[in-house]
Structure 1
Amino acid sequence: MSKTNTKKTKKQIILEESATLFREKGYSATTMRDIAAKVGVEAASLYNHIKGKEQILSKICFSLADTYTSKMEVILNSKDSAIEKIKELLLLHVEINAMSSPLASVMNDEWRHLTEPERGEFLSKRRDYENHFLAIIEEGISDGTVIVSDSKVALYTMLSSIRWLQHWYHSNKDMDVEAVKETIIGLLMKGIEKK
């Protein structure tokens, strides 16, 4: 496999550095001056790349929401069993929360600062995603491969169990992400899968 060019654009750097600041200080306490200092540019030159702090937040939230949505579409259209679909979605959550931890933290914790219409659009995407995930769990309950009595409790327990990675993994990056995935998925799947 050939390596692709991984040089980041200035906009990507701004988004990533902003996400780190939003996670450390919170969205409200972070200023455009803070972001400029972190990126290493004058505050005025940030506006050549981005309109303002709220646009940064919106781009972070929607880039990850779109990743989840596009993966969900692929999984929904696959011929995999419900239990395999659940496993694939959990792997997606582990990867995003471990490998994109500042971005994931911002999407999970700072989305409340979005204003309309972005806030409504973001919540709609999240609701749709969760409803599709619930439908997959319910399909597994119906076919007898998933052994939980409440699909919502199962969904939110699994998602909450993975969210801690966004805070923990960035300071434990020496751990092998594949081993982390295997452990977490093994634990979660044992809790729901009929043997």
Structure 2
Amino acid sequence: MNAVFKQRPALCEADIVQAATLLMLDCGYSAMSMRMLAKTLGVHAGSLYYHFPGKVELLEQVLSSVLQRRLDDWKVCKPKRRGALENLNAFVLFHLQRSSAFANEERLFERELRHVDDGLQTRLVALHGRYLGALSEIIVQGIRHGQFQVCNIDLTSQCLLSMISGVIKTVGSVNAMDRSVTESIAMLCRRLMQTQ
């Protein structure tokens, strides 16, 4: 085969997103260029624009894939037919484990979301809302069974998720997985909502 027409690797959006995620984790969104990404993939930079109109749209897809994987992982780990207290414990443990295991991805989302314009943020906000919705469902279940008492379900979900995420930032990923820490956080979440 002529060297000018040598075969290039087939390119799909999933490969681009995966490579872009790794580059953004390594050097950040601002430092990553489409040329750098193309070189990593072994293709011409122009071929990336066939899949994504620009770098911002690629970032939106990277962040969407991070959020979608988190939501999909929860659906797999979510206990089947359990009570609200058990489901809350499972959610707290899941979020601590997932956020510890994929701490870089969580930080990527927090750090790079500011680069996505308001129009593209809609999908990201919806995906994050679905994850928050899973926690809200647990709270609603607890209210129905007289185990929880809260004034604002959505605000409570956001506060609990922020608190759980804050534990990882405060004590570190490794320490957050200590059983005494996970049990303490789950107990605190329950006590913040339980009826007296």
- The alignment partner of 1:162 has SS state of helix
C-alpha displacement at 1:194, in angstroms? 4.7
The answer as to whether partners of 2:100 and 2:174 remain within 8 angstroms in 1 is: no
The answer as to whether partners of 2:103 and 2:173 remain within 8 angstroms in 1 is: no
Q: Which residue matches 1:15?
A: 21
The answer as to whether partners of 2:24 and 2:108 remain within 8 angstroms in 1 is: no
In 1, Cα distance between the equivalents of 2:149 and 2:96?
Answer: 22
Q: Which residue matches 2:59?
A: 57
Q: Which residue matches 1:48?
A: 42
C-alpha displacement at 1:159, in angstroms? 0.9
C-alpha displacement at 1:140, in angstroms? 0.9
Q: Which residue matches 1:32?
A: 32
- The alignment partner of 1:146 has SS state of coil
Change (3 A) 1:192 1:72: same
The answer as to whether partners of 2:167 and 2:176 remain within 8 angstroms in 1 is: no
Find 2:159's aligned residue among 138, 157, 160: 157
Larger C-alpha radius of gyration, 1 or 2?
2
Q: Which residue matches 1:184?
A: 185
1:81-100 Cα shifts (integer Å, max 9, x gaps):
12222222222221222222
In 2, Cα distance between the equivalents of 1:152 and 1:56?
Answer: 30
What is the TM-score normalised by the length of structure 1? 0.65
The answer as to whether partners of 1:141 and 1:147 remain within 8 angstroms in 2 is: yes
1:101-149 Cα shifts (integer Å, max 9, x gaps):
2210222342242358753322222223323432331221121111333
Which stretches in structure 2 are left out of the alignment for 5+ residues?
1-14, 49-53
Change (3 A) 1:82 1:64: farther
Q: Which residue matches 2:150?
A: 148
- The alignment partner of 2:105 has SS state of helix
Deviates more, 1:130-139 or 1:79-88: 130-139
- The alignment partner of 1:110 has SS state of helix
The answer as to whether partners of 1:97 and 1:165 remain within 8 angstroms in 2 is: no
The answer as to whether partners of 1:97 and 1:166 remain within 8 angstroms in 2 is: yes
What is the TM-score normalised by the length of structure 2? 0.65
In 1, Cα distance between the equivalents of 2:19 and 2:41?
Answer: 14
In 2, Cα distance between the equivalents of 1:158 and 1:16?
Answer: 29
The answer as to whether partners of 2:78 and 2:91 remain within 8 angstroms in 1 is: no
C-alpha displacement at 1:189, in angstroms? 2.5
In 1, Cα distance between the equivalents of 2:139 and 2:176?
Answer: 29
- Alignment root-mean-square deviation, CA: 3.7
Q: Which residue matches 1:3?
A: none
1:38-67 Cα shifts (integer Å, max 9, x gaps):
xxxx77623538947546634542233123
Amino acid at match of 1:158: L
In 1, Cα distance between the equivalents of 2:143 and 2:164?
Answer: 22
In 2, Cα distance between the equivalents of 1:31 and 1:16?
Answer: 13
Which stretches in structure 1 are left out of the alignment for 5+ residues?
1-8, 37-41
In 2, Cα distance between the equivalents of 1:99 and 1:76?
Answer: 17
